[in-house]
Structures are given as C-alpha cells and as structure tokens.
Amino acid sequence: MAGGATGIGRASLRAFRAQGDNVLLVDINRAEAEAACREPGAGRALALVGDLTDAALPKSAVTAALDAFGGLDTVFVNAGLLRAAPLADWTLADWQASLAVNLTAPFLFAQAAAPALRASPSPSLLFTSSTGALRGHAGMPAYHATKAGLVGLCRSLADELSPQGIRVNCLLPGWVDTPFNGPFWSHQPDRRMAERDLVGAIPLRRQGTPEELAATVLFLASPAAAYITGTSLVVDGGYTAV
C-alpha cells in the first residue's frame, strides 16, 4: 500500500489487517506510518519510508513486500498530493511534483508489481483517483488533471493486464473528512460558508468517513469483485449524481 499513514489509507490498512492480511505500508510520514503499523491487527504491517517522487521507490517497495511476505496479492496506490493556489502562483516544480505523486507513481507501481501479481490467485491493482476526475475546482489544476489521468491509466492497464488475471480499478472518493483536504479549505475565502455549501450539495448531506471508503477498498481487492476491472467506482454520497 502506497500512502496509508492517515485518512483513507490508514483506515484501509486497519481493515486489511483486521481480516488477516499482511501489509507493507509505503509513506513519506515516518512517525505516522510507524505508528499505524504498531497498531494491533491480525495481519502483520511493516513501514517503508519513502518519497513517491523518487522513481526508484516502487521497485524497492515491491521487492520489500516479496521479501517480507513471500507474495503479492493487492497493490493499492492511495497516496496523493493536493495543492491549491491561483493559476499565476503555480510553478513548474509544483506541477511536476503533483504529476510525480498522483500519476507517475501509480504507473511505476503497476509496472514494478505486475510480474509478482501474476502469481497471485486473486491479483488486484487499485488506484485512488477522486471525483475531482469528473469535475473541477478553481486553484487545483494539477490535482484535477492528474486524477483524471489516473482514470485513463486504469482503463489502459485493465485492457493490458486483465487477460493475465490482474484486475485494475480506480476508487473515486467524494468529499471525505480528512486533513488531506486542508489545502482546498485554506484556498476558500470563507471556509465555514464553503463547508456549508458543500454539504448542502451532497444528497446524503454529509461528508464520507475513511472507514466507509476502506470498506469499498476491501471489496474491490477481494474475490467478491472478481468480475470488476477497468472500473472507476464513485463513492461520494451522490455528489456527482446531481
């Protein structure tokens, strides 16, 4: 799992371990990643600290997982980078960092993991995209562009890898109440009003929880989803339906 020290990733880590799965967690946040792996769980958890802008990290992570656990069934690339600023304030470095974490890293993880996944009886690649792939918000051009690109990557990889038994899917969370969304809220002139308007636009009239998304992650990674591949599954309380 790439990205699981907080939010959806941490809830997914707990859920995988609760059902007995062993997990290698790759994250840049050493303190939180190690704390997450120390939590009790039926399955083992190991932390690998690394920066997803490092193109060598995915191969190292796959090797570490195979060395620790002897095989690989699911690769869940959940890490993301969200930056918000007026267009004129964006730098090329900002744009490239978003591209590296949100789009290049998932590609490199797929490339590194595919040979090992072929040996699994139920192999799955899962990427966290976003409903930001379907609609836009001012100030976040890189986030929306890369999350939309991730949907296209999923479809292409599904066409190539599914005949080999490897399912490839995208999770598209809507608004989930985690610190990850901090840059978006900081970019709003009036956060309280923006939050009120947002919740009013969600048919279920609330943001989601990390645990609700983790349940969907487990489903997509499980044999229960054996006939699902190339899909972008929206979990957003109806936000993009209206």
Q: 240 lies in a domain?
A: no
Neighbours of 88 (CB within 10 A): 5
Nearest CA to 98 among 140, 131, 134, 142?
142
* DSSP character string of 95-132: HHHHHIIIIIHHHHHHHHHHHHHTTSSS-EEEEE--GG
Q: What is the mean pLDDT of the chain?
A: 96
Q: 241 lies in a domain?
A: no
Q: Report the alpha-carbon distance of residue 58 to residue 109 in Å, rounded.
A: 5
Q: What is the pTM of this model?
A: 0.93
Host domain of residue 50: 7-235
Q: 47 lies in a domain?
A: yes
Q: 242 lies in a domain?
A: no
212, burial (CB in 10 Å: exposed 0-12, middle 13-18, buried 19+): middle
Query: What total of structural domains would you count in the chain?
Result: 1
> pLDDT tens-digit profile of 19-78?
999 999 999 999 999 999 999 999 999 999 999 999 999 999 999 999 999 999 999 999
Q: 14 lies in a domain?
A: yes
Give yes or no: 227 in active site: no
Q: Which position among 127, 143, 175, 239 bears the catalytic label?
A: 143
182 — pLDDT class (breaks 50, 70, 90): confident
Q: 188 lies in a domain?
A: yes
Are the CB atoms for 215 and 45 separated by under 8 Å?
A: no
Q: 174 lies in a domain?
A: yes
Q: Write the CATH number for 66.
A: 3.40.50.720
Q: 86 lies in a domain?
A: yes
